[in-house]
Amino acid sequence: MNMLIIGPILVPFMLFKGLSYSQIMLLQSIAAISVFVFEVPTGAIADKFSRKFSLFLSGIFMATGILLYILFRNFYVFALAEILFGLGLTLSSGADSALLFESLKKIGKNEEYQRREGNAASYIFIGQAAGSVLSGFLYKYNHFLPFWISFGNLLVASLVALTFIEVEREKSEHRYVTHILKSFNVILKSPRILWAVCFAALMGFIVRVGYWMYQPYFAQVDLDIAWYGVIFFFFNMVAAFSSHFLVRRYSDERPRRVLLGLSTLMALSFILPIIFVAKWAIALLALQQIVRGLYRPTMNFYINHQIQDKYRATVISTVSLVANLSFAILSPVVGIMLDKKGTIPSYLFVGIVAASGTLALYLLRKKQKSRKASA
C-alpha cells in the first residue's frame, strides 16, 4: 500500500488544482479526523474478523481517493477523497503489523519483528526513492501520470493482500463495543502504553506536518521543481538506510530512549534549516528521514511486547488514532501560518512544539520510572 510515487509532486499538484496552503492543510486535517473516527473500529474489525480482507479494502478505498483527485477540481470532492484515504489507512494501520507479529510469533521468531519490519520498510523506501526521481520527470511531462501509476499500484497491492495466510490466533470473545472499551482499559492501566500514546500525539503532528512543509522550504530557497524528485530520492535513501541498518544498530537499546532521540532529531530538523536558509540546508531536512525509517519499527516493537493478541490491532490503532487527532488539531494552524506569516515562522513554531514535547515526555518517563522504583 506504500508504493506510491506521488510524494515529491503532491503539494505542487494540489497547488496546480487551485488550492492554497490553508486548504491543503485543512484537507489533511479532514483526513486525520477520518482516521480518528475510523481507526479503532477498523482495528477491531481486523482483530475480530480478517486481517488480510482489511488490507484488501484498504487498497480499494485509497485507490478510489486517488481517482477522485485525478478526475475532479473541487475542494469538497477532494475532502471526500481524503476521507477515503483516511478509511484506507485505518484499515491497514493495525492489521499489517499485527499480521506480521503474529506470524513470527507462531514460528517462535517474534523477537525478529523489529528487524523484519525495518527490512520491509527499507525496501519500500528504496522503491519510493526510484519512483521519486521518475515522478518528477513524469510530472513535467504530464501532471496526472504519477497519479495513474500510483492508482494501479494500489489495485495490485489489494489483490496481493488476498493471498496472505492468516495464522490461528486468539480472538476476542467480547462484543464489538465491549472489545473496544477493554482495549482502552489496557492502555489506561499500562504506564508504558500510556506513555507511547502521549509520544504518538507528539510525533503524529511533527512527522506528518514535516512532509507538507518541504515544498514551502524548497520555494523559500528557490529550488526548481525538476529537482524535487531528486531530493525525495535522497530522502528515501536516507530513510531506507535508517530502517535497514539503524534499526539493527539500536535494537538492543531501550525503546523509549531511542524514541526520545528521534523526537529530538525532529526538533533539530525544523530549527536548523531556518538558521541556515540555503539550498544546502535542505540536507538538514534529511534528519526527518532518519526518524521516518526508525520510528515505526521501534514504536510497534515497543507496543507489541506490552499487549495480548486479542487486543493487539485495536491498541495499535488507538495509538495511531491519537497521532491523527493531534495532527488534525494543529495542522490547520500551520497552513494558516504558511499563508499569512510565511515559511520561517512556521518552521519555528513546529520546532518549538517538537522541543517542548520531547522535554515533557522525558520528564514523564522519569516520573513513571521513579514511581515504579518506589512501588
Query: Is residue 279 in some structural domain?
Result: yes
Query: Is residue 340 in some structural domain?
Result: yes
Query: Is residue 2 in some structural domain?
Result: no
Q: CB within 8 A of 124, min separation 6: which ones?
A: 2, 3
- The pLDDT score that the predictor gives to residue 45 is 66
Longest C-alpha distance within the chain, in Å?
Answer: 65
pTM of the predicted model as reported, rounded to 2 decimal places: 0.80
Query: Is residue 48 in some structural domain?
Result: yes
Sole residue written with cell 525538476: 226
| DSSP annotation of 31 | H
Q: Which domain holds residue 174?
A: 7-374
List, for residues 289-308, the tens digit of each pLDDT value.
Answer: 999 888 888 887 777 776 76
Return the CATH number at 246. Answer: 1.20.1250.20
Buried b (16+ CB within 10 A) or exposed e, 149-178: bbbebbeebbeebeebeeeebeebeeeeee
Domains in the chain, number: 1
- The pLDDT score that the predictor gives to residue 76 is 96
Query: Is residue 1 in some structural domain?
Result: no
Instruction: State whether the Cα torsion 231-232-233-237 is positive or negative.
Output: positive
Query: Which stretches of the chain drop beneath a pLDDT of 50?
Result: 1
The answer to whether the CB of 39 falls within 8 A of the CB of 324 is yes
CA distance 337 to 334: 5
The answer to whether the CB of 236 falls within 8 A of the CB of 129 is yes
- The pLDDT score that the predictor gives to residue 177 is 57
- The pLDDT score that the predictor gives to residue 259 is 92
Which grid cell sits at 262? 528521534
- The pLDDT score that the predictor gives to residue 183 is 65
Query: Is residue 21 in some structural domain?
Result: yes
